[in-house]
């Protein structure tokens, strides 16, 4: 038994002799916001489906609220799958109320809840329109609201920011904070590192179906050494100059301004220590810029994947979306 809202214990799953998830263990504690990160095909969606009992692990266990997934525990879960889908001939009000009733709400309460959610999130005027007439972003908001309508204890969102414009992404961030404030445990997968940085209490990073990291944001950022960028006026060998002082300098490109260097310094070091060492060595400094570690740097270091790290606006190099998880069929 466990107090975790969601837990995988040494869970593995293969499809067509390819291991999508490999002996993965993690848990989402009550009240946590857990960011679930990984490149396309890493096994994120399969892991979430195993946790919900949609897919059965080949080995290991999946638990919800300390027990194997069952109808009673699933009543306490709100789930937004990666594959979006709504009844196109229904209204947003009807869709949200329908999913709320599936989770045990009465018709009266479900309709009232739908009206409240649609009004609060800018869709009140569209509540009676057919879903087929909504924009892609509006339809996605309806599906997100449908997952939250029954006030679940555990909310699982698989790529919830995909397809939303920056304004609606900000609205969704605020909605996640509101749900967290009322006590919900939230697990969401994303390719957008900035969302995870702003929202998460803890991070789980996986690659090729295996756990690469499980910890806090600060613990993740500590994996990347602090650094600074220096531009020197001349072609001075900064590497040999600073090595004896405990700093690692790597030469970068040469520009019209001068020669650029990146200087890494160990934990406990400070940017001013690098600057002082360079000045003491009579380095002809043109510019000096301390660099702050970012979550995307940790992600790239741990997974070795750069092609699928999305920018803040959600854009990324073209990729076959179906490749993210072959796991859709078992």
Confirm whether pTM is higher than 0.85: no
pLDDT digits (tens, 9 = 90+) for 90-101: 999 999 999 999
Q: What distance lies between CA 308 and its chain's CA centroid?
A: 13
Q: What is the pLDDT of residue 328?
A: 37
Tens digit of pLDDT for each residue in 172-226? Answer: 999 999 999 999 999 999 888 899 999 998 999 999 999 999 999 999 988 888 8
Confidence of residue 40 (pLDDT cuts 50, 70, 90): confident
Q: Which residue from 49, 82, 12, 162 is spatially nearest to 324, judged by alpha carbons?
A: 82
Q: Does the domain formed by 226-291 have CATH 3.30.70.2040?
A: yes
| 271 CB-contact burial (10 Å; exposed 0-12 / middle 13-18 / buried 19+) | middle
Look at the alpha carbons of 54, 60, 65, 69 in this order and tell me if their dihedral is positive or negative. Answer: positive
Query: Over the stretch 117-138, which tens digit does the pLDDT of each residue have?
Result: 999 999 999 999 999 999 888 9
185-190 sheet: strands from edge to edge = 77-80, 154-158, 185-190, 33-37, 202-207, 210-216
Mean predicted lDDT score pLDDT of the chain: 88
pLDDT in tens, 147-173: 999 999 999 999 999 888 898 899 999
Average pLDDT over residues 57-69: 95
Put residue 168 in one of left, alpha, beta given phi > 0 → left and psi -120 to 50 → alpha: alpha
Show the tokens assigned to 204. 């789980």
Query: Domain 6-76+152-221, what architecture?
Result: 3-Layer(aba) Sandwich (3.40)
Per-residue pLDDT, 41? 86
pLDDT of the residue at 47: 95
Query: What residue segments make up the domains of the chain, in order of their start?
Result: 6-76+152-221, 226-291
């Amino acid at each position: 038994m466990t107090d975790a809202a969601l837990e995988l214990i040494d869970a593995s799953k293969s499809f067509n002799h390819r291991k999508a998830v490999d002996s993965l263990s993690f848990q989402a504690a009550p009240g946590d916001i857990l960011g679930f990160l990984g490149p396309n095909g890493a096994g994120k969606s399969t892991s979430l489906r195993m946790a919900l009992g949609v897919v059965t692990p080949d080995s290991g266990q999946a638990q919800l609220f300390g027990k194997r997934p069952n109808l009673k525990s699933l009543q306490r879960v709100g789930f937004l799958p990666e594959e979006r889908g709504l009844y196109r001939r229904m209204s947003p009000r009807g869709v949200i109320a329908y999913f709320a009733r599936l989770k045990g709400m009465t018709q009266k309460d479900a309709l009232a809840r739908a009206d409240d959610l649609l009004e609060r999130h800018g869709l009140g005027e569209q509540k009676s329109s057919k879903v087929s007439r909504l924009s892609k972003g509006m339809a996605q908001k309806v599906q997100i609201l449908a997952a939250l309508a029954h006030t679940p204890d555990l909310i699982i969102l698989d790529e919830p920011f995909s397809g939303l414009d920056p304004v609606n992404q900000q609205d969704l961030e605020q909605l996640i904070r509101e749900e967290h404030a009322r006590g919900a445990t939230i697990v969401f997968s994303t390719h957008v590192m900035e969302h995870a940085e702003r929202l998460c209490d803890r991070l789980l990073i996986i690659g090729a179906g295996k756990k690469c990291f499980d910890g806090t944001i600060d613990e993740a950022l500590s994996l990347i050494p602090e650094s600074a960028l220096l531009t020197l006026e001349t072609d001075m060998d900064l590497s040999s100059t600073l090595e004896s002082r405990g700093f690692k300098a790597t030469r970068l490109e040469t520009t019209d301004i001068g020669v650029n260097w990146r200087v890494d310094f160990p934990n406990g070091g400070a940017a001013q220590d690098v600057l002082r060492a360079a000045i003491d060595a009579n380095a002809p400094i043109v510019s000096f810029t301390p660099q702050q570690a970012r979550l995307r740097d940790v992600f790239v270091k741990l997974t070795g994947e750069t092609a699928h790290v999305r920018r803040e606006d959600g854009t990324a190099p073209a990729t076959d979306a179906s490749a993210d998880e072959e796991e859709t069929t078992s």
